[in-house]
Structure 1
Amino acid sequence: MHVVTAEQMRAADAAAVAERGDVALMRAAGDAVAEAVRVLWPRARRIVAFAGPGNNGGDAYAALASAAEHAHLHARAREWIVYALAAASPSSGRRDAENRAQSSGIITRPFPRDAGEAERALEGADLVLDAMLGTGSRPDVPEPLRSAIEALSTSAVPVLAIDIPTGIDPTTGAVAETAVRAHATVTLGAPKLGLLLEPARGYAGSIFVGDLHLAAELARAEGTAFAALDTAEFLALLPRRGEEADKRESGAPLIVAGSEQFPGAAVLCAHGAARAGAGYVTVASSSDAAPALRAHLVEQVVVTFEEANVERAIDDLLDLTNRSNAVGLGPGLALSAATGAVVRGFVERLERPFVADASALFHLGKHLDILRGKRCVLTPHEREFARLSGEGTIVPGTRVARLRSFVARTGVTTLLKGNATLIDDGSTMHVNVTGSNALATAGTGDVLTGVIATLLSQGLAPVDAARVGAYWHGLAGREAAHQRPVGVMAGDVAEALGPAIPEPPERFARLVPLS
């Protein structure tokens, strides 16, 4: 699905308003938020909304009016209150929402003047709607909104943010000194880029996209195209084994990995490839790593190459690609000059799609020109990316721009690991929305390389293999953490790949679960 900057969202909104009118657009937004209230907090009786003076505040009125118009909720005893800052020049959409809310028995009161008044407004509430600024958020949140946020920060009442939590920059993900930390967010029309980036990501809670039917308007948005997978899209892209498929048709990746010092990296990469559904995994490694690999890899074929004889090693690896349909290259390889020569010579003549990680990135770092025209994915973490790009350490807030510049210069699809992981192919930048802090352990990147190698071997294009692999790997991290709250290891993540595949998502009228 589309992911947008604040500027792109404003342009899409303006185009939709010009075509449909802002009354229809705000009613659609209200319906989406009301659905989230019904789904997530079906027993909420006292709902309080903190509404700013703009259209974000109007969305709160529209949401409560929409909820009240559903008979099964309207009949229940309830007390729904909007604490609002008056709009100097309300839009027709906001006026319509206010009138509907008043007709539905929604109470309107002045916005709290200080933290004490805000705390009293929250007494007895089952749910708070944050509709103070939305995409108009800025670093210097003004009073009295700041005091309301401070009251929310000390309250146990759950918060549902409308569009984006107040205090979050919708484009960069920067967080104001005082910002709302929501339990869930309904982001309207499309996810805002900043909502998916650190540090804002930790303030959004569970993210749902309110569908306003803006696909045409979003597609016309100018500037960098951003996107994110949701569950339905992930399941649609994930390759499935045919009923009569043989083992090689199910994916036959060649894993070139491991060394005497780091045999485990090859083991983890091979397990990731196998658990991602490959039918035949071959592992090529140095001869001094072979005993350890053969002791741990029962279902995979282990072969060796001799780095000392560079040309022979390259020929042997290329011969193996005749029986494989993709390559995972790099985890645990030696950092020696001979191994570097093998890696570069192999890549230069390689015609299969491949994913390069870890030691392969080290060896290719000053020779990125040989990747031009190759079907490949690079998967650096931030330190590796700094070395690859030659531009030094990534400064917070610059990851998007740095990745876009690197891909434009090299023409290589690149997956930049982090929170959030970003994938760019020069056309669209994809933001991964899954993940877990359980993935912050040695070897999980090796598992990801194996997963992507299998997806490439099953026929996915490099950018699709990267974004599906990152999404799946993130789900597996969550599943592993669920199974083992403490002490998740990389092997646990590989084992969790199968159980992590979700069921098709429940279909809602206007909501799409994103994270």
Structure 2
Amino acid sequence: MATSLPQSFYRAEQVREGEQAVARALDIPMYQLMLRAGQAVFDSINQYYPNAARLLIVCGAGNNAGDGYVIARLAKSAGLNVTIWSLVAPEKLSGDAATAWQEWQDCGGSVIKTQPTVTQFDVIVDAMLGTGLSRAVEGDFAQAVRVINHCHVPVVAVDIPSGLCANSGCVKGVAIAADITVTLIALKQGLLTGQAVTHRGELIFAGLNVATAFARQAEPAGQLISDDIKTQCLPPRARSAHKGQFGRVLCLGGDHGMAGAVTLCAQAALRTGAGLVKVVTQKDHTLMLVTRQPELMTQSWAPGQSLGDALSWATHIVIGPGLGQSAWSDALWTIALSARLPKVVDADGLNKLARQPQHRDDWILTPHPGEAARLLGCEVKEVELDRFAAVKAIQTRYGGVVLLKGAGTIVYDGTDYAVANVGNPGMASGGMGDVLSGVIGSLLAQGVDLFSAATLGCYLHGKAGDYAAQAGERGLLASDLFPYLQQLVD
């Protein structure tokens, strides 16, 4: 039976070893788990495609194929027209997969070994490759993936879309673009971020009645950011509360031509509950800022001037939005680094850090993949090949908490991983990162610790984006998030 996504996620090898351990502990034959897996996928097909009459199941060589044969038998028994396209000789199957194939034969089933006309089917089931994939998909398997991806027939993937790495989420050559993925027993971390978010379609979890037992005996690789994080981190305010209790955020940035970025950052800090917010920026921008948002305090600054009073006033700093790469921004960056205040570093602040690396424990770094690549001295494609490895490498080199933005944003503090399951493609627009940095700075100012501020900020930002996108993803603006952010932190 499919359930809501669990909070914990695991590496593929943990699941492979853990499912055998839990089966032994519960005295459940592994084949019984295969039968449950097939039933769970078939139930999802019935739920999402109740009118499907013609089913194509594409099978490979391992236990993923065994799940496919179980699905086929169930579908045939239910009266569906079932075709199995086997990419390997089924006679070579072993173990539980061979048993599933034999039972398919016993009920009168057969297989075809040549490519069918895939467009004649109502649903295609991907049972080719499982979580053990370690090299690029090639040969007949790669050809099958390409054919399926171009046929415009709904695809249901068993456990993981074939061609995806279960640990990193990267595509190994080619990968199935599924409409639905029914993942089994435990949530695999590679399904949660990067390219996987596109290829998995809607993610459905089926615990096969062993998920609770599995979770008791396996240490998670990390956690999905849950809906209850707000109540954990932001308790209701006392009726006697005053602004002095909720911090003073100093936003540094807005070089010539980039006032909008620091404005969005500062507005986001206000909208999510910071007590006071001040912006230090170019003199030409101060009037625009207070006109746009009169609740903001502003201070113009030029190299050679003191920032001592502003830094003494602040409890937290956000630096980077609209900071630029000029002599003005270099001087402002140097002064900011001298302040022993917790910081959120974004945008051009990260680019400056990449050129002058240092390690600190009191900051949150919020790179997108391009900034992450500069921080690591590598190409963007290397970051995206393994986002978990990239965020760990950044944190090891620079310290603090690192939030790697993108589909399935990852937060890492040197010990714990958290992944966001919110946000949408409409948020791929200018200013979204500036809003996020302001939200996180505000949460720090309200007393939330670094890791919790990064995870809660990511959740609030993505959730607000999802609410705003109900009016349409294309054309979504960063400022559209503000009313939803205010509602979410209430």
Please tell me the TM-score bracket, short chain as reference.
0.7 to 0.9
Does the CA contact (< 8 Å) of 1:259 and 1:285 recur in 2?
no
What is the 5 A alignment of 1:216-295? 216-219=216-219, 225-229=221-225, 231-232=226-227, 234=229, 237=232, 239=234, 241-242=236-237, 244=239, 246=241, 248=243, 251-257=246-252, 258-275=254-271, 277-278=272-273, 280-286=275-281, 287-295=283-291
- Pick one of 297, 309, 320 that aligns with 1:330: 320
- Pick one of 54, 60, 67 that aligns with 1:59: 67
Distance 1:272 1:94 in 2: 58
Does the CA contact (< 8 Å) of 1:247 and 1:278 recur in 2?
no
Does the CA contact (< 8 Å) of 2:169 and 2:386 recur in 1?
no
- Pick one of 3, 15, 21 that aligns with 2:21: 15
Distance 1:62 1:303 in 2: 66
When normalised by structure 1's length, the TM-score is 0.78
What SS is found at the alignment partner of 1:129? strand
Task: For residue 206 of structure 1, report the CA deviation from its aligned partner.
Answer: 1.4
Distance 1:164 1:392 in 2: 29
- Structure 1 unaligned runs (5+)? 69-73, 502-515
Equivalent residue number for residue 80 of structure 2: 79
Distance 2:320 2:44 in 1: 45
What SS is found at the alignment partner of 2:131? helix
Equivalent residue number for residue 319 of structure 1: 312
Task: For residue 254 of structure 1, report the CA deviation from its aligned partner.
Answer: 0.7
CA RMSD, 1 decimal:
3.6
Are 2:343 and 1:357 aligned?
no
Distance 1:281 1:43 in 2: 57
Q: Give the residue type in structure 2 aligned to 1:449.
A: S
Task: For residue 79 of structure 1, report the CA deviation from its aligned partner.
Answer: 1.3
Are 2:146 and 1:158 aligned?
no
Task: For residue 269 of structure 1, report the CA deviation from its aligned partner.
Answer: 0.8
Equivalent residue number for residue 199 of structure 1: 195
Equivalent residue number for residue 475 of structure 1: 463
Aligned length: 469
Task: For residue 449 of structure 1, report the CA deviation from its aligned partner.
Answer: 0.5
- Pick one of 91, 97, 107 that aligns with 2:95: 91
Equivalent residue number for residue 391 of structure 2: 403
What is the 5 A alignment of 1:501-512? none
Does the CA contact (< 8 Å) of 1:59 and 1:94 recur in 2?
no
Task: For residue 407 of structure 1, report the CA deviation from its aligned partner.
Answer: 1.5
Task: For residue 450 of structure 1, report the CA deviation from its aligned partner.
Answer: 1.1
Equivalent residue number for residue 297 of structure 2: 302
Does the CA contact (< 8 Å) of 1:26 and 1:58 recur in 2?
yes
What SS is found at the alignment partner of 1:171? coil
Does the CA contact (< 8 Å) of 1:442 and 1:490 recur in 2?
yes
What SS is found at the alignment partner of 1:108? coil
Distance 1:355 1:366 in 2: 18
Distance 1:274 1:30 in 2: 51
Are 2:486 and 1:484 aligned?
no
Moved more, 279-288 or 90-99: 90-99
Distance 2:180 2:324 in 1: 46
Equivalent residue number for residue 3 of structure 2: none
Distance 1:98 1:245 in 2: 72
Distance 2:95 2:35 in 1: 13
Equivalent residue number for residue 380 of structure 2: 394
* CA deviations over 1:345-376 (Å, ceiling 9, x no partner): 4444334x33111233345445543x5232x2
* CA deviations over 1:74-113 (Å, ceiling 9, x no partner): 9xx73163626436354348737975x799xx76321x32
What is the 5 A alignment of 1:138-217? 138-143=135-140, 145-146=141-142, 148-176=144-172, 178-211=174-207, 212-213=210-211, 214-217=214-217
- Structure 2 unaligned runs (5+)? 1-6
Q: Give the residue type in structure 2 aligned to 1:190.
A: A
Does the CA contact (< 8 Å) of 1:307 and 1:338 recur in 2?
yes
Q: Give the residue type in structure 2 aligned to 1:157.
A: V
* CA deviations over 1:390-445 (Å, ceiling 9, x no partner): x2433432544343223223322112233443322111333434333322222111
